[in-house]
A and B are shown apart, each in its own frame.
Chain A
Amino acid sequence: MTWPDLTQSLTPAVHAGLPLFAIVLTLGAYLLGVEMQKRLRNPLANPVLIAIVFIGITLRLLHLSYQDYFTGAQFIHFLLGPATVALAIPMVRALEHMRRGFWPLMSALLAGCILGIVSGYGLVRLFGGSQAVALSMAPKSLTTPIAIAVSASIGGIPSLSAVLAILGGILVAISIDPILNWLKINEPSARGLAAGTAGSGIGASRVIPQHTLSAAFAGVAIGANGILTAILAPILVPLLKHW
């Protein structure tokens, strides 16, 4: 039996137990990613990236569509809502810490937010990209639903912004430890805020297990950067278009 025959004959069985198959596949792929991260100790071995690639290949081999996969995977996706709400708990824990460092926190957030929009837009234009692509790049640091909404409101391509938000988050999850170790920036507050501002949820997922303060500052950064960009992008974009 050749490999295509084998996958062909597996397909009906997989379809029969589809929701369960998708859940088991997602959990298994992520656990595989976590295991590879432990073994390889290489920042590129990121569990989210490994799971996405592994599932993508599996779906293709079994001739399953994304809609087939999502009938089961939606149950895992659903938990993203309560998990986002749960970020409030480390925030409450870190309240005193944040109150004492309020102005540095606000300055870091504002600088990250504005630089993210301006450099994203400007670099696409500088390297010959179209206006629509540049506008889609502007909200790439945001959590996907806000990135889509902001992109639509400033004239970007929402689905491209969604792709860029996910890829940007994976990039942050992969690069944050090497970059900040190299710069000798070790405070959990700085790491958490930077992860949330530059890479929203996926970026945050890398630093949350490291320290409860990282989780708190990442949560603040995801919410605040989303709100700040939603307000600032429509103001900044007309200025950028002139320039």
Chain B
Amino acid sequence: MSMIKPIFILLLFQLAGEALRAATHTQVPGPVIGMILLAAFYILRRREPSPALEHAADGLLSWLGLLFVPAGVGIVANIALIRSAWLPISVALIASTFITLITTAWIMHRFGNRASIPKEGR
């Protein structure tokens, strides 16, 4: 019983996200809009999510990798698309991904700390 309410809330917000997406013709997927709506709901109402909802969310997220497997199987079956230009594609994919990863992490590392962690006494 305690699982039904969290599942209802997550699906309700996903549905709201899908509805908003359809109404505004945006490119942002329904579940991403649902995520923003759910976060805004708790932030604006200054309320904590219930322990049951936290439990369900943590449970689903700990298996996030599994949930990408069905789409991954289908998409990697299309891997022949890469063959036409495998050299520029593999160089760009690897280098560009590393550039993005390192830049984002480094800026947070270099500037994020001071702003978000209380100063240490020395």
Q: Give A contacts to B, CB under 8 Å.
A: 26-27, 29-30, 47-48, 51-52, 55-56, 59, 66, 69-70, 73-74, 76-77, 79-92, 95, 97-98, 100-105, 107-109, 111-112, 115-116, 119-120, 123-130, 133-134, 137, 140-141, 143-146, 149-150, 153, 157, 159-160, 162-164, 166-173, 175-176, 179-180, 183, 185, 187, 189-191, 193-195, 197-199, 201-202, 204-206, 208-209, 215, 217, 219, 221-223, 226-227, 230
Contact = CB atoms under 8 A, between A and B. Distances in A.
18 contacts: A48-B68, A52-B69, A69-B70, A82-B14, A82-B31, A85-B35, A86-B61, A108-B112, A120-B96, A133-B89, A137-B93, A163-B76, A171-B93, A190-B105, A193-B105, A197-B100, A201-B64, A202-B68
B1 interface: no
B27 A146 contact: yes
Interface string B32-55: 101111110011000011000110
A91 B35 CA distance: 9
Main secondary structure of the interface of B (DSSP, over half): helix
Contact of A143 (B32, B34, B48, B111): B32
Given A56-B73, A86-B57, 19 more contacts: A27-B66, A48-B65, A48-B66, A59-B73, A79-B67, A82-B31, A103-B115, A104-B112, A108-B104, A108-B112, A112-B103, A129-B85, A150-B27, A173-B65, A180-B101, A194-B102, A205-B65, A223-B32, A230-B28
Interface in B67-122: 67-79, 81-82, 84-85, 87-89, 91-109, 111-113, 115-116
A103 B85 CA distance: 39
Contacts of B29: 84, 143, 145-146, 226
Given A86-B57, A100-B116, A226 B10 contact: no
Interface of B: 7, 10-11, 13-14, 17, 26-32, 34-39, 42-43, 48-49, 53-54, 56-58, 60-79, 81-82, 84-85, 87-89, 91-109, 111-113, 115-116
Contacts of A227: 28
B77 A56 contact: yes
Question: Which of A87, A164, A173, A230 has the most CB atoms of chain B within a 10 A radius of its CB?
Answer: A87
Contacts of B115: 100-104
Contacts of B88: 123-129, 133-134
A22 B74 CA distance: 13
Nearest to A162: B75
Nearest to B86: A129
Nearest to B49: A89
